Amino acid sequence: MRAFAYERPERLADALALLAGRDGEARPLAGGTDLIIRIRDGSIRPATVVDVKGIAEFTRDVRLEDGWLRIGARTTMTDLMRDERIRNDYTALAEAAAYVGSVQIRNRATLAGNICNASPAADTAPALLVYGARVIAVGESGRRTIPLDDVFVRSGVTTLAPGELVEAIELPLPAGRRAGVHARRTRRRGHDLASVTLAVAIDEDGVTRLSYGSVGPRPVSVTDETGVLADPAASNEVKQARLDELFVDAAPSTTSMRASPEYRLAMLRVLGLRAVDTAIGRLAS
């Protein structure tokens, strides 16, 4: 492992200056559950690691701000699981957070880190996407708001500029009743990244939003506005046919050690139907 300088700035301006001044050789660190592994295995070799946990402007909370639910950059998976609004109004996100790693990992892993790491298997990405999340990014040239769907490019690559930090992730408030579900398939019980991950949110007006990951280089979001998926009276055959239309962009890696493309595509169909049925049941209860 290459030796690196460790910095823990207390002011955002200092953190941004550190990140901007090192010619791409500086990397932000939050919980470190992805970053430290990549530094150890040599896949990244930063000269400087900038710990964002000391930044006073970066909060560790979930709060209402200007009509959005704002999740601060230091907020962990455990924080999300414990938050009553997340559990009630963004159930798929609470469930996704609860699936990440182990208790120890969830106590350190931040939501912002899960997004910035941009793994196609990131558990929280599909849930955030079905709820219409946006990212507040801040860099030396100022702040900008990016729809989460525009952040992901491919594994490990986002549209964040070099030196830019995620300050918060924001969720629109629900317009009415809805039910959300997170589902995933892993090779084995215990700690493993998902071979397929999927989230569903069904609104009371019959619109169904789905997002699926680990079946392509980035998560994919689709919407069913026909009402078929939300219809408790629709048969499984009809719902499966609609899901097949919506999953047309699934393109699993042919080289992954985790699962074959055929298995991922088969599991995507199974998880999709199950998650839709669970969401219909939750909406009715």
Ligand X SMILES: Cc1cc2nc3c(=O)[nH]c(=O)nc-3n(C[C@H](O)[C@H](O)[C@H](O)COP(=O)(O)OP(=O)(O)OC[C@H]3O[C@@H](n4cnc5c(N)ncnc54)[C@H](O)[C@@H]3O)c2cc1C
Beta strands (DSSP E) in 190-264 are 196-203, 208-213, 220-224
Length of the chain: 285
Nearest distance from C-beta of residue 112 to ligand X, angstroms: 4
Cα torsion angle, 39, 43, 49, 51, sign: negative
- Binding residues (CB under 6 A) for ligand X: these are 27-35, 37, 52, 73, 99-101, 105, 108-110, 112-114, 116-117, 122-123, 165-166, 191, 193
Q: Are 178 and 279 in contact (CB under 8 A)?
A: no
Smallest gap from Cβ 263 to ligand X, in A, equals 18
CB of 191 closer than 8 Å to CB of 152 = no
Question: In whole angstroms, how close is the CB of 223 to ligand X at the nearest point?
Answer: 23
Q: Least distance in Å: CB of 284 to ligand X?
A: 30
Of 116 and 280, which CB lies nearer to ligand X in the complex structure? 116
Nearer to ligand X, 177 or 187 (CB): 187
Q: Which is nearer to ligand X, 95 or 123 (by Cβ)?
A: 123
Instruction: Decide whether 107 or 223 has the Cβ nearer to ligand X.
Output: 107
For ligand X, the closer of residues 72 and 272 by Cβ is: 72
Q: What is the DSSP letter of 54?
A: G
Q: How far is residue 206's CA from residue 228's CA, in Å, rounded to a whole number?
A: 8
Residue 165 CB, shortest distance to ligand X, in Å, is: 4
95: nearest Cα among 129, 63, 127? 127
